[in-house]
């Protein structure tokens, strides 16, 4: 059964760091491009970042560029999002999702989300 | 960045109604348009890719159309499980951008 499970969310003070993880089960992780998408409370969806199959190609939303780093460990079937210099406006549920290629639409495999709250 | 707009912001409809949601891109995106459904407290679910192709398992009452900058999502006969928020997203270029969403509520 295909499953994506995010973890690592929590409450963090502004300016601090947090690392999210997304563990993949039931499919060959290295065959998929992976994305992070977030959703602030009561708001719409915002695309955050993408990483290629082998991690050599990445793209970021302007709002997180220079602060967030997406990475993956194919041996562990795990996707990461290192978030530094967090701001209150980064408060959101973060979802990981797969895609067939760097230029394909997001697929039908999404995690359940992990909540990040940035507050003093 | 490509801006995506949706209309209406919300709508009220009854079971069995035909519902149409519009999505517009700030520039032409060919058919690089996807639709997602999201229910409260749940992850988004992919419905349609390439403007008109249904994901596996999506009921045939859902359909998508359009090309260029104007797109529509149609639900031919609204079912109780279809009450949700619907988002479009362009994927012709990065950064990927979503529309603001259309909430479909029960009348």
| Per-residue confidence (pLDDT) for residue B4, from 0 to 100 | 98
Please write down the HEC assignment for all residues of A23-61.
Answer: EEECCCHHHCEEEEEEECCCCCEEEEEEECCCCCCEEEC
Residues of chain A with pLDDT under 70: none
For chain A, the residue count is 120
Closest CB from A59, A97, A111 relative to B94: A59
Q: How far apart are CA B88 and CA A26, in angstroms?
A: 28
* pLDDT above 90 (res B100): yes
Beta strands B33-38 and B19-25 are unpaired
pLDDT band at residue B107 using 50, 70 and 90 as cut-offs:
confident
Q: Does A27 touch chain B (CB under 8 A)?
A: no
According to the model, what pLDDT value does residue A108 have? 82
Task: Give Cβ neighbours of residue A85 (< 8 Å, ≥ 6 apart).
Answer: A15, A17, A67
- Residue A118 structure tokens: 């940035």
In angstroms, the separation between the Cα of residue A9 and the nearest Cα of chain B is: 16
């Amino acid at each position: 059964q295909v499953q994506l499970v995010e973890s690592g969310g929590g409450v963090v003070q502004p300016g601090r760091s947090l690392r999210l993880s997304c563990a993949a089960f039931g499919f060959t992780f290295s065959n998929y491009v992976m994305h992070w998408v977030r959703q602030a409370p009561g708001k719409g969806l915002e695309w955050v970042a993408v990483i290629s199959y082998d991690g050599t190609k990445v793209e970021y939303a302007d709002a997180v560029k220079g602060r967030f780093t997406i990475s993956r460990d194919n041996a562990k079937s795990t996707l990461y999002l290192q978030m530094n210099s967090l701001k209150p406006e980064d408060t959101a549920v973060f979802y990981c999702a797969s895609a067939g290629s760097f230029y394909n639409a997001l697929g039908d495999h999404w995690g359940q989300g992990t909540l990040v709250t940035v507050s003093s | 960045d490509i801006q995506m707009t949706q209309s209406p912001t919300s709508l009220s409809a009854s079971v069995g109604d035909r519902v149409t949601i519009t999505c517009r891109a700030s520039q032409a995106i060919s058919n690089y348009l996807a639709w997602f459904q999201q229910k409260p407290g749940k992850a988004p679910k992919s419905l349609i890719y390439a403007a008109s192709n249904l994901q596996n398992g999506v009921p045939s009452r859902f359909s998508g159309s359009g090309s260029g900058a104007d797109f529509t999502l149609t639900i031919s006969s609204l079912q109780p499980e279809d009450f949700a928020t619907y988002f479009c997203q362009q994927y012709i270029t990065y950064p990927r951008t979503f529309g603001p969403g259309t909430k479909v509520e029960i009348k």
